[in-house]
């Protein structure tokens, strides 16, 4: 049902296909909505009070309610709004993946990693701000398109972090040979610290939380693969990056 829901939503993004198979998509939507409703009713039957203690269940109920009441409240003239309401099924799909065996652990690991990743991103933002100030001070006159002001410099550094297109920016320094050497050192330091070190730190955070969560998961699922195998399958080069 989760996969079918995602496939239907993917096909509906194409206007031609959506118009050609409108009736079929409508039938599928009603079937999916019926399954959603029955799922909630079954959960209510086995524990109505417990149902509302889970945030995911509350979100499921709100999404299903919006899907039910949307066509009734906006029967005509609300096509755009109805399309937005239908997209809420994406949230249901994400929640469904979280309930699958193994996926629940990965969702937990990612959620546990968010605070640490937020700290890393905050530190990266500070470093970007410092380098942006240096860039504006040193290169604003020579390359105003990239370092004309603070926001332009921050955008330039963001491009450098993605490692996609930074060479085009670097070529603008070729007009001044003396300035090019300074720019080389500037980009080398920032790329080494911003792109490589921080990227590895993010991998380290997720890998560490995965290793912490794996023992509990193995106790509940003894037939699943070992922590080392799962870790290598998720981060095949992590053993080359970190030395413990």
- List, for residues 153-207, the tens digit of each pLDDT value: 999 888 888 877 778 888 888 777 778 888 888 888 888 877 788 888 888 888 8
**Whether the predicted pLDDT of 12 surpasses 50:** yes
Asked whether residue 93 falls in the same domain as residue 122, the answer is no
HEC string of the chain equals CHHHHHHHHHHHCCHHHHHHCHHHHHHHHHHHHHHHHHHHHHHHHHHHHHHCCCHHHHHHHHHHHHHHHHHHHCCCCCHHHHHHHHHCHHHHHHHHHHCCCCHHHHHHHHHHHHHHHHHHHHHHHHHHHHHHHHHHHHHCCCCHHHHCCHHHHHHHHHHHHHCCCHHHHHHHHHHCHHHHHHHHHHHHHHHHHHHHHHHHHHHHHHHHHHHHHHHHHHHHCCCCCCHHHHHHHHCCCHHHHCCC
Give the C-alpha separation, 4 to 71, whole Å.
22
For 23-77, how does the pLDDT look when each residue is reduced to its tens digit (9 = 90+)? 887 788 788 778 888 888 998 888 888 888 877 778 778 877 877 776 666 655 4
Same domain, 185 and 226: yes
pLDDT at residue 126 is higher than 80: yes
Question: Is the pLDDT at 227 greater than 50, yes or no?
Answer: no
Domain boundary (36, 64, 98) is at 98
Q: What is the CATH number of the domain that holds 150?
A: 1.10.287.70
- For the whole model, what pTM was predicted? 0.56
Regarding whether 46 and 119 lie in a shared domain, the answer is no
Whichever domain contains 10, its CATH number is: 1.20.120.350
- Among 98, 120, 143, identify where a domain stops: 98
**Which residues are CB-neighbours of 142 under 8 A, at least 6 positions away?**
173, 175, 176, 179
Same domain, 135 and 162: yes
């Amino acid at each position: 049902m989760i996969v079918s829901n995602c496939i239907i939503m993917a096909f509906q993004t194409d206007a031609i296909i959506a118009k050609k198979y409108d009736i079929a998509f409508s039938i599928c939507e009603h079937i999916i909505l019926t399954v959603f409703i029955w799922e909630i009713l079954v959960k209510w039957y086995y524990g109505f009070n417990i149902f509302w203690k889970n945030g995911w269940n509350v979100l499921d109920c709100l999404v299903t309610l919006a899907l039910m009441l949307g066509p009734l409240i906006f029967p005509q003239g609300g096509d755009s709004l109805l399309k937005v309401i239908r997209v809420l099924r994406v949230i249901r799909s994400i929640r469904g993946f979280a309930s699958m065996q193994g996926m629940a652990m990965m969702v937990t690991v990612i959620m546990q990693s968010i605070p640490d990743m937020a700290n890393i991103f905050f530190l990266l933002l500070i470093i970007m701000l410092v380098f942006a100030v240096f860039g504006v001070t040193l290169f604003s006159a020579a390359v105003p398109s990239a370092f004309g002001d603070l926001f332009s410099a921050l955008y330039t550094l963001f491009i450098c972090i993605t490692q996609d297109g930074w060479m085009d920016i670097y070529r603008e320094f070729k007009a001044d040979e003396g300035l090019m050497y300074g720019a080389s050192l500037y980009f080398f330091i920032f790329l080494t610290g911003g792109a490589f070190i921080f990227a590895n730190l993010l991998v380290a955070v997720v890998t560490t939380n995965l290793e912490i969560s794996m023992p509990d998961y193995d106790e509940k699922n003894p037939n699943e693969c070992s922590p080392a195998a799962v870790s290598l399958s998720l981060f095949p080069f992590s053993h080359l990056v970190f030395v413990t």
